[in-house]
Structure 1
Amino acid sequence: METNDPVILLIDPASRNGPDYRAAIHDLGFAVLSLSTGVSTAANQQAGPDGEMSLQVSDVDDAVRQVRAAGVDVRAVVPAHGASLHVADEIAARLGLPGNDPALGWARLNKAAMRARAAETSVRIPEHRLAHSLGEVAEAARDIGFPVIVKQTMGTGSYGVSVISDAAALDEAGKVWTVDLLGLPVTEWLVERYVRGREYAVNFCSADGEHRLIDIWEYRRPDHRDYDFPLWDIIQIDSAHPDHVRVERFCRQVLDAFGIRQGPGHIEVKCSGDGDDVYLIELAARFTGGPAVPMWTRHSDLRPFHDAVECYLGRRPNMIDGDHGFRAVLGSVVIRNDDAPGTLVAVHGLDELGALPGIADVLVEFRPGDHVPTTTHNMCIPVSASVHGPDRATVLRTMAIARETVRLEIAPDPAEPTVAAPDAVAAG
């Protein structure tokens, strides 16, 4: 790379999306300058005293200093990892390049700050409290009224999330909240009213503050019970769906309120009832996880990573102005272990699953002999697969067949030995 070559700064490329962003940058005729921040979710657990992000500021300063010292012609800053989105925004702002409002980076990352920003901008959210101890969690839950949902403010993938239906459930669930996914202590939790209703994942692309809807996915559940982990069957909805208009309108308000002006945006919402009652659940200035992005590439005219890079360059990509050209209805089926944890003996039906029309990208997380926990978050899904078909009915039918085809054979963990009561011992 020559110093006069136009360069795109790729932040934290050692991530799932890093190779795709790197390839897109090269395709668009730019050199890549990689920068690893060392900033992770675990390093940013708490807000500062005024609610500002507790960034490793020296890292941002060092990055800007080194980029300027290198004398390269940086045209854009592209974040490849969700945990350092706010760092990329800070760097872009310091270099005078397009990006999202760095002052709102913490609100796009920390769930408590997210709720505070939503309240400031009249974005509808459930009633909630911020707790700093398990005692405060219990107090907030009783104050709000059951059911509530409890979340780590910096959690991801539903890890450490629990629906609490009553006081007894509150006592039983407390032990799982005190550490994060990396095993580090958690010192703040969001406790909020559980919203019963339909849940959606909404995907946008933005260029200079103009927002274009990509698609909306519905989380479909097997029954109407309350849940803390939404993944079961997931499927795109179209404009004829009764919730489509109000969900899209609400999410445009969210994008503006949280300063998302460039690149992808992913928002999760719930609709309770048939009125205009959409609630913000989560948001991030990134692409959705799971199978959606690779499925767009195969079943539409979208080039997600190329178009995102164009947005960070300050250009208007086809994702904003063009026809997305979806050629199929897209979905995903998640085969969970909703029973007791245990040792995996076998996964039956995998070959048959892979041979089903409309099934692709079969992912198997566990092998025989592995310990399989009860599925409570994204990182412990035994089997999942992408699903596509010519219409919604076909996709739903394929999902149902997939569930009939795959069976997990799990040997439950042995029961913990019981300790006999003192009087029983004496009687023996």
Structure 2
Amino acid sequence: MERRAFILVEGTKWDGLRYVQAAQRLGLHPITLSADPSRYDYLAAEGMQTIRVDTDNLDALIRECSRLGESYSIAGITSAAESVYATVGKLCRHFDLHGPNPASIERCCDKFTQRQLLAEAGIPIPSYRLAANAAEVQRAAAEIGLPVILKPTKGINSIGVRLCRNTDELAEHTIHLLGGKHTWRSSPRILVEEFAQGPLYSTDIMGNEAIGICAAEFGLLPYFVYRGFTHPAPLTDDENERIIDVSLSCMQALGLGWGPSFVEARWTKRGPVVIEVNPRLAGGPNSRLIQRAYGVDLVTEHIKLAIGEQWDLRKRYSHSAGVRFLIADRDGTLDWISGDSQAAAVPGVVEVELYVEPKTPIVRKGDYQDYIGHVIAASPSQTRTAAILERAVDLVSWSISPFLTAGE
């Protein structure tokens, strides 16, 4: 009997291993195609089959999958990485497999195009302008009015995103984006956006079905580094319904509706205002929170969808699950970090992970790269989960020494 292979194009730090393990539980043989397999430690640790290939090159991927098709029955192809997800859609269409609409993914991943489509559909979004140089940034900010948010039109994980509250911050971040410090894969295109103020919520969607809404909490401005998430968000029935309605409207406006997506919206004076739509699973440990809160494994259900099997999004229970990120508070060299085992022993804590080891240089960038670890907890109530997280996080401590300057 021919062995059924499941192709994963690239991996991810957060969910890559979960995709591999879920595929195995479904009786599939996972094979990861990557431009650099060494980026994913779990592949070597688990002894997973990997193939080095240029994952930005559709023809190269087609050739590799055709070659694999001589030895395996390819049950499905997918990815958890946004950067290759449109290519995955094209690959699925070539082999007549289930997958996302590549044109919809490409439109959604361009934040300016996404804004245009949402605006045309009458979905509430912040005021925005597109800029390609410093003069256009200044003109756009003057038209919208400070404060504004500057962000690249393409990118994830808050990379290059900053709130500019005055003209000095605007000039500083414009120089950062255009002066060589930010990596562009194409010509620079900057989104200048109104700062919609209010609590942030994220709706997780599979297909056209909303799974749940989480509350997101940021650290200190002007950067947007997440401090934590809580599932489910503490909302009234009316607030919950309005956020879900506007989130599902985004799916229709952007031509999505296949596979995982999540919609970020702020609750403002005029109700929910959509900040961003992402055509993939939310990053970080979010999928693990959903599993702890509702008993729904979105990774497994995504794979089922990709191989043409019936998915199951029924909630098994309703608990509260939350994550708190450990965030570096200064630049320098990490002397030590401890307390993770004590935090893991706190009743209700389900996961503690440290991302760095002593002697690691810490250089904060104002995005997800500032995280040095996380703690996940779950319980039957939001109040109890919050208390568990606070107690556990307080047990983890670290020391960062300033970098030595010349002559020291």
**TM-score, normalization by structure 1:** 0.78
- Flag the 1:80–1:382 CA change in 2: closer, same or farther, 3 A: closer
Does 2:197 match 1:196? yes
Q: Is this contact kept in 2: 1:152–1:186, CA < 8 A?
A: no
Query: In the alignment, which of 214, 217, 220 is matched to residue 217 of structure 2?
Result: 220
> Offset at 1:135?
3.1
Instruction: Give 1:359's aligned residue.
Output: 349
Does 2:254 match 1:258? yes
- Flag the 1:238–1:344 CA change in 2: closer, same or farther, 3 A: same
Counterpart of 1:112, as a letter, is F
Instruction: Give 1:294's aligned residue.
Output: 288
Matched residue SS, 2:126:
coil
Counterpart of 2:23, as a letter, is I
> Offset at 1:327?
5.2
**In structure 2, how many angstroms separate the alpha carbons of the residues matched to 1:135 and 1:316?**
53
- Flag the 1:166–1:62 CA change in 2: closer, same or farther, 3 A: same
Q: Is this contact kept in 1: 2:9–2:55, CA < 8 A?
A: no
**In structure 1, how many angstroms separate the alpha carbons of the residues matched to 2:93 and 2:122?**
26
Instruction: Give 2:268's aligned residue.
Output: 272
Identity %: 21
Matches within 5 A, 1:339-358: 340-347=330-337, 349-358=339-348
- Flag the 1:386–1:249 CA change in 2: closer, same or farther, 3 A: same
**In structure 2, how many angstroms separate the alpha carbons of the residues matched to 1:32 and 1:90?**
20
**In structure 2, how many angstroms separate the alpha carbons of the residues matched to 1:384 and 1:297?**
17
Instruction: Give 1:115's aligned residue.
Output: 115
Counterpart of 1:196, as a letter, is Q
**In structure 1, how many angstroms separate the alpha carbons of the residues matched to 2:94 and 2:18?**
26
**In structure 1, how many angstroms separate the alpha carbons of the residues matched to 2:350 and 2:157?**
22
**In structure 2, how many angstroms separate the alpha carbons of the residues matched to 1:368 and 1:57?**
34
- Flag the 1:105–1:34 CA change in 2: closer, same or farther, 3 A: same
Instruction: Give 1:156's aligned residue.
Output: 156
Aligned length: 386
Query: In the alignment, which of 217, 223, 226 is matched to residue 231 of structure 1?
Result: 226
Matched residue SS, 1:243:
helix
**In structure 1, how many angstroms separate the alpha carbons of the residues matched to 2:13 and 2:394?**
34
Instruction: Give 1:328's aligned residue.
Output: 319
> Offset at 1:193?
0.5
Looking at CA atoms only, which structure, 1 or 2, has the larger radius of gyration? Answer: 1
- Cα deviation code 1:153-212 (max 9, x no counterpart): 222211111100011222333343245776878722111001101101221111xxxx22
Query: In the alignment, which of 303, 312, 334 is matched to residue 318 of structure 1?
Result: 312
- Flag the 1:391–1:242 CA change in 2: closer, same or farther, 3 A: farther
**In structure 2, how many angstroms separate the alpha carbons of the residues matched to 1:30 and 1:267?**
31
Does 2:365 match 1:401? no
**In structure 2, how many angstroms separate the alpha carbons of the residues matched to 1:305 and 1:400?**
28
In structure 1, runs of 5+ residues without a counterpart are 39-55, 418-428
Instruction: Give 1:23's aligned residue.
Output: 21
**In structure 1, how many angstroms separate the alpha carbons of the residues matched to 2:312 and 2:121?**
30
Instruction: Give 2:8's aligned residue.
Output: 10
**In structure 1, how many angstroms separate the alpha carbons of the residues matched to 2:334 and 2:35?**
38
> Offset at 1:308?
0.9
> Offset at 1:151?
0.6
Counterpart of 1:174, as a letter, is T
**In structure 2, how many angstroms separate the alpha carbons of the residues matched to 1:30 and 1:89?**
20
> Offset at 1:317?
0.9
Task: Please give the root-mean-square deviation of Cα atoms over the aligned residues, in Å.
Answer: 3.2
- Flag the 1:16–1:269 CA change in 2: closer, same or farther, 3 A: same
In structure 2, runs of 5+ residues without a counterpart are 37-53
Does 2:89 match 1:89? yes
Matched residue SS, 1:105:
helix
Matched residue SS, 1:393:
helix
